[in-house]
Structure 1
Amino acid sequence: MQLTVSTHDDKVFTIEVDAGTDTGTLQAILEAETGLPVEQQAVFHNGKLLPSSGTLQAAQVQDNDLLMLQPQPAAHAQPQQTQQTQPMARNRDGTLQNPQAFLDSCLSNPAAVAQLPPNLRDAVSSGNIDSVQGVFRQLQREAEQRQMEAQLIRPGEDPMDLEVQARIAEYIRQKNVEENFEAAMEFNPEVFAQVTMLYVTMDVGTSQCLHNMTQMALVNLFCILTYAVNGNKMAAFIDSGAQSTIMSAKSADQCNLLRLMDTRYQGIAKGVGTSKILGRVHQAPLKVGSQHVSASITILEDDSMPFLFGLDMLRRYQCCIDLHKNVLRFGSISNAELPFLAEHELPAKLRRVSSDVAAGGVGEGSAPGPATLPHGSGAPGQPQSDCSVWLMTAFVQI
C-alpha cells in the first residue's frame, strides 16, 4: 500500500509498504528517506502515536493514509546508537552526510533494504556510494517537486489553468533568484560590499593667487566598448563615476536576465536625474575577450542607457582605463583587454548621447542619468546632479 509522509520541516513524500510491515521496518525506511534516526522519530497516524511494535495493519493504517513524522530527543539509554546514526543526516541537496554509515546499516538490516524504493535498493546492492548519493539527490528533487505542486496547485484546481501556471512560473523564477543569490554569496561575496568612489587631492588656484586651496576632486572617466552579456553583444558605457554597474530593464530582457532579478533590491538611483531600481542580478555572465566572468548588475526602469559598467566591477577586476592604447585592461584576468569603440562603431542611440554631451546638453538623450553618486560628492555649493553634469561636460570638452 502507498502512504504519504509529512515531516516537521514541511517535506512531503510517499512510500510503498505492505500492510504486514512492522513499525520498526517503517521507521528504518523513514530514516533512509529523511536521515532522522529511528530513536528520534515520533510517527503519528490520525493524531495518535504509532506503537513501537506491531504491524501497520494492527495499527489500522490503510492505503493512502497520511503519517506525520516529528523529531523527538534521543533516549538517554542509547547514546552509542545515536552517535552512530547521526552522520546519516541529509545535506541540503538531499545527499547523505555519511553514506558509508547508511550502507553499513543496510547490510545489517536486510528486511529494511527490501522495503526501500527499487532504485535505492539497487544502488545499495551495488555498494557504490556515488550511485546511492545520486538516488538520494533524485529523491530530494522529487520530494521538492511534490511539495511545490501541493503548495501551488490547490485541491480541485486544473494544473493547466492560467492562474496556476502563473504561480508555478513565479515559484520557478524565485527559485532561480535564490540560487543565483546563494552562488554569489558563496563564490563572489565582494559584490555585496559598499563601493567607495574615486577621489584624489588637488591644489586648485592660479599663479596670481597668493595661496592655493586644496579640494577633493571626483575622478570620473567615460568610455564605450563592446561586451558579450549572456551571449548577447552590446556596447557598454564605462563610467568610473558610477557606483554600480547598471542595465536597463529592456536590455536585461533581451539578455534573458530578468528571470534572475532579485526584486528585494529595489530603490532609486540618483545622478543626472533619477531612475527607479527594479532589482538586482547577483551573477550575470559576461565574456571579456575569450574569458568568461560574472558581474553584479542593477536593473533600472529607465532605458536611456542600455548597459553601464561601473566602479564596482572596475574595482573587482582591477581594470585600467588606458587612453594611450585606447583599451580597457583587466588586471585580474590574464591578457584580457577590450578596445574602446570609435564614434562610427557606436549604436545610433549612443552616438546621440555623445553628441549631446559634447555640446553641453543635459536634456533628454544626454549623458546617462543612472550614474549613482554618494551623498555629498558634489562640488561645494552645488547640487549633486549639477556636479555630475559639470564633471562629465568638462571631461568631454577637454
Structure 2
Amino acid sequence: MVAITVQTSDGRTCTIDVSVDDFVESVLVLAEVELGIETGAQAVFRAGSAAPLNPQQSLRAQGVDGPATLTLGQPAAQRAQPASAASVEDQIRNLFGGGGATALAPAPAATPAAPSGAPNNLNEQIAALFAGGAQRQRPAPVNPDDPEYQRKMYEEIQRRQIEENMMQAMEDTPEAFGSVVMLYVKSSVNGRPISAFVDSGAQMTVMSARVAEECNLTRLIDKRFAGVATGVGSSRIIGRVHMAQVCLGEGDSRLFLPMSITVLEQDSMDFLIGLDQLRRHRMCIDLSANVLRCDSHSFEFLPEHALPDHIRKQPGGGRAESVTVEDLKDAAAANVGSNDGSGGAQPVEGLSAEQQSKMQSLRDILPDLAPVAAKNALEAAGWNVDVAVSMLADD
C-alpha cells in the first residue's frame, strides 16, 4: 500500500492508501468520496508531468510505484477551446438557465438584421454545440445518497478488502492454498488389500458394491436394510453386512476388528470407516503424530504417493462426501418401543401438508408406528406410501 495525494485545481487535497496495482480509475472513485466532487470529466496529472494518466491502467504501469501526488485538471482539448465558443456557451446557459431573456439585453439594438438568405452566426454556433452535445455533456454531480452509487462504492470497498485479505493469507498461511491429502490407512478384507478412508464426519461405515464383490461379501448382504444414503449427494443402499473381519495395518502390527458395513451402489468410495466404527472401537485420529490409534496399536496415515492411482486421480485426493444414513430399521425399533399414546399423537414439524397426509396414511395402515418412524420410512421410500409399507413389512 502507498499513500497517494490527490490535489484539485482549487487547492483541496486528500490522501488515499491504495495499491500500486490499482487502476487510476479506482483512485478517482475514492477521491470523489473524500473530496465530495465529481472527477469524471477531469484529467489526472502526475506532479511535474504534462501528460495525463490513463484511468484504465494501473499506477505501477504508468510509473507510480511509491508515494506520489496526482493533480486533477481540465483535459488539454477543453483548455484549448476558443473564447468565442465559451462566450456562446455562457449565452446559452443564461438563456435557458436563470438569466432569462434579459441575459441578451446588452446586445446593441441598432445592429441591422441579417438578410433572410444569410447565415445567422449565433444560430449556427448553437446548432454546432447541440450536435456535439454527447461529447461536451458533463456528467451529473455525484449524489452520495444515490443507492446505485452506494452499491458501486460498496462493491469497490469489498473488492479491495478481499484482495487485501487474500494477500495477507498468502503471506501468513500459504499452505491454505495447497491441496490436502485425505486420511487413508492400509487395510484388508478377506485378504483383499484396501486403502480405507477414515472419515469421522460420516455417520456410517460404507463400502462400494464392486469392492464388496471383490472381497467375497456379496453373499452376506442383507437386502432388508436397503434404502437411501443422503449427504452432499445421495446413493442407493443395497443392504448391510452385519459383521465382517477387517484387518488394519500389515505385518506384525495387524489388528483384526469386526465391523458392520453398509454397501452402497455408488462406486466413488472403495471403503470408508465412519464414526460408528471409530466410536465402537474407540479409535483416535492423532493428527500431530499422523496416525490412527486403536488401543495400543497405531496405524500411520498413507502419504499421497502410497495411494492407489484411482484414488489419487479423484478431485481433492480422494475426498469423499460425508454420508448420513437414515437407518429405517433402527429408527422404527427405537420409536415403536417408545410409542405410548401421547407420543404417538405428537405431530412431526417441518413437513408439507401433502407429506403430513402421506404420513397419516401410513400410520392408518400400521397403527403402532410412531410419527418419527413413519417419517423416516417415507423419506427412505421417496415418500411413496406403498414402498414404505412394503419395506416395513419385510422386517
- Normalising by structure 1, we get a TM-score of 0.34
| Pair member with larger Rg | 2
- Normalising by structure 2, we get a TM-score of 0.34
